[in-house]
Structure 1
């Protein structure tokens, strides 16, 4: 129990201390008029209360991520604890905070436009294509899963559930953000938090009463405990499997939505930084539950290898510990939450395309012009196998986080501030992403070269990226020359 409570305490303290430091370091200023006030349009730029923005942001970035990712990551053992806690505090939170605040400072701009401003047009054009594709894939991934579960629960046809969810997606994408998202997302966000807190409460209660044993972290367990370590390499694969809860590039595509609704810059810490801390806490809870419910990491691995998946694990834990209420939470967790992630992915894709072409979105006609082709592509992709779609999401997600970290580091450099706060995490994620491409098995999107060679090349690429970044700073940030006539 000490390990579990210690991890939760570290995340909570990080919000109050490191979060405050990050806020001051960035220079949040309530004297600046935010885009929500200055550009209010009744559709995407609408001022919202802080509590509502927090729950929407939390649900946007969370969904199934900190649950399924944490369960799969727990198969590697307690090393997942280290990554979730340290990754969340020093990487995920600053990534989310800077992506949201830089959007506020740039008129609520989407991620590719922010990247273009600080890293140049080449990165901007790459991100425009990459981000839209990632968002479509996320939307599609989170429609096929719930549609399949609904088919199993109701006995209805898979295709009809796809039609129904896509119809909902279209409405949520087109309508003003305060009509559907602003009304129902806080409820689902609260349900996701209550479910996690309830699971945590049951673990603590059962452990205190002696009916359940919570294993403590020990140094001897700081190894790869996965049942198939050869195909599931601790470094870098665990760092890709656990993204939500530690650091996730997808979050940087969602933050601009709330950046367009924020009335004061000081609200950025509870909304952007705070939502990521909350997601880290949810991830720790589910990683702990998964590692202990089946009697330990080995029990979890045996369960998963016997044909079960994270959705089954969620359902089993919720029903066993929370009864009928748990069954409701399980349905919310594995059906409603992914749907709410999918619709905001499509909404973000609409905003990204609109920003790309400077196409105002106030009129319904303008929103339809962008959305209809977007959903047509999404529906075609939904016919692919779910595993084909999901395979590349994890790596794409972390490539996006890597680029966002380099973007924020460049912003700090241009502001004359110490960029190491973000360039060091950017280096780390660069090493993770390139090493994964080199050493991961073919069926996981890698090219499967020798791990020792892959590690060396991945680290070398990270150092080279840092060198290029420093060189770029010297080129872009020059000492002003005297104008001599």
Structure 2
């Protein structure tokens, strides 16, 4: 219990200390107009309040990741707490803040456009394909998971196909309608359900005196389960997630002032880390250790764990509300995943999105592909999503490092976590069954060598960019030219 409580406190302290430090390093400009006003189009560029933007950002980035991921990560024991806290403060929140703020400085540009500008034009095509694939996988996965949870919640009385169809209809509307018409209006209510359910479970753990394990020298990896690099691909959204880099530009287009960025981007990642801590602690404490948790996961997956935790801690009524809160998470990330895919494709082909017809012809193929992907095995989709997710996080962190390097600021805040995860990404794909299936020792050597080469290339490119005075932001007078 002490480890759990200390970690929660550390996350909160991290927001007020390291978050403030990162904000100071970046250097906000209070007088600079944001894209929400300069590029206002009534569809994607719409000024909204800080509380509303914060809640939308939290729900955008918090899919099933901060619940299902930590539940799976709980199999590794309390070491999962360390990754959530360290990863969230020094990697995930930095990642979210930098991508959001750099996007604000560049008319709300998405990651492919930022990668093209700061990492080279070739990267625009690579990252564009990567980001769209990631978003399609996210959107598809976040159709299946809430549908299955709702099917269970309804005791099977509503056909799974009907639920899936209903979710798709909502996603289509949320993708095509102006951001303030559906997302802006529904998310505050969705957010209330999410926060109530998570806080309820957290308080329940404390009140009931749940036997949450403490960190010691003997319980870092129960049952000798391998930690590196698998833990970093199991717990993503609660610590570090490239998916967030596809979501922050949505809110960079609705943020009123740069000063609000720390609350919206850094702060909401910390909030997600707290949610992850709560569900990881619950999973560790209520099933008699990793073996009991493994049995429940094998029988019914993370959804069964969520249902059991919610009912045991909060009772029948409270448990139902908690499950609804978990259902909200993927739905409120799935809708913005498809919306982001539409915006990225439109940006890539330079198609203005003010007209409904322009949004429609981009959205139709996206949803058509997603329907096909729903026929693929969920576990296979999730493994590819996990790797693509963290690979995207690496790219986003290197974009942040390049921006800060050119600006002659402390680029290490992005480069260190980016390089660390680059090693993990390369090592994982070299060893994994979905990758090259090399022995782990060879995969580690390949990952370290590959990361070293890429970091050297980064520094060479960064020095050229600095020497050429690469512009860090779009001039205000050019905003409307590229809207």
Please say whether Structure 1 and Structure 2 have the same fold, judged by a TM-score greater than 0.5. Answer: yes
1:213 to 211, 214, 219: 211
Contact 1:74 1:287 (8 Å CA) reproduced: yes
How far apart are the structure 1 equivalents of 2:88 and 2:467? 34
Local SS of the residue matching 1:15 = helix
How far apart are the structure 2 equivalents of 1:415 and 1:309? 47
2:174 to 153, 172, 175: 172
Contact 1:431 1:458 (8 Å CA) reproduced: yes
Contact 2:46 2:253 (8 Å CA) reproduced: yes
Matches for 1:189-200 after TM superposition, within 5 Å: 189-200=191-202
Q: Offset at 1:226?
A: 5.1
Q: What residue in structure 2 maps to residue 483 of structure 1?
A: none
Q: What residue in structure 2 maps to residue 449 of structure 1?
A: 438
TM-score by length of 2: 0.93
Local SS of the residue matching 1:75 = helix
Could you tell me which runs of 5 or more consecutive residues in structure 2 were left unpaired when the two chains were aligned.
Answer: 470-483
Residues 150-194 of structure 1 deviation map (CA, whole Å, 9 limit, x = unaligned): 445343333333222111111011111111101111221222122
TM-score by length of 1: 0.93
How far apart are the structure 2 equivalents of 1:226 and 1:36? 51
How far apart are the structure 1 equivalents of 2:144 and 2:302? 16
Residues 191-223 of structure 1 deviation map (CA, whole Å, 9 limit, x = unaligned): 21221111111111112xxxx33322112112x
Matches for 1:25-424 after TM superposition, within 5 Å: 25-152=25-152, 153=154, 154-207=156-209, 212-222=210-220, 224-225=221-222, 229=225, 233-305=226-298, 307-424=299-416
How far apart are the structure 1 equivalents of 2:99 and 2:458? 19
Runs of 4+ in 1 over 6 A off after TM superposition: none
Q: Offset at 1:479?
A: 7.2
Local SS of the residue matching 1:32 = coil
Q: What residue in structure 2 maps to residue 458 of structure 1?
A: 447
Q: Offset at 1:377?
A: 1.5
Contact 2:194 2:328 (8 Å CA) reproduced: no
Of 461-470 and 237-246, more deviation after overlay is shown by 461-470
How far apart are the structure 2 equivalents of 1:159 and 1:418? 51
Contact 2:47 2:253 (8 Å CA) reproduced: yes
Q: Offset at 1:278?
A: 0.3
Q: Offset at 1:34?
A: 0.3
Count residues with an aligned counterpart. 467
Q: What residue in structure 2 maps to residue 478 of structure 1?
A: 467
* Pair 163,479 (structure 1): closer, same or farther in 2 beyond 3 Å: closer
How far apart are the structure 2 equivalents of 1:406 and 1:36? 26
Residues 207-265 of structure 1 deviation map (CA, whole Å, 9 limit, x = unaligned): 2xxxx33322112112x3257x3xxx310011111101110000000000100000000
Q: CA RMSD in A?
A: 1.6
Contact 2:110 2:246 (8 Å CA) reproduced: yes
* Pair 149,281 (structure 1): closer, same or farther in 2 beyond 3 Å: closer
Q: Offset at 1:475?
A: 2.4
Contact 2:296 2:304 (8 Å CA) reproduced: no
* Pair 254,354 (structure 1): closer, same or farther in 2 beyond 3 Å: same
Contact 2:138 2:385 (8 Å CA) reproduced: yes
Contact 2:78 2:213 (8 Å CA) reproduced: no
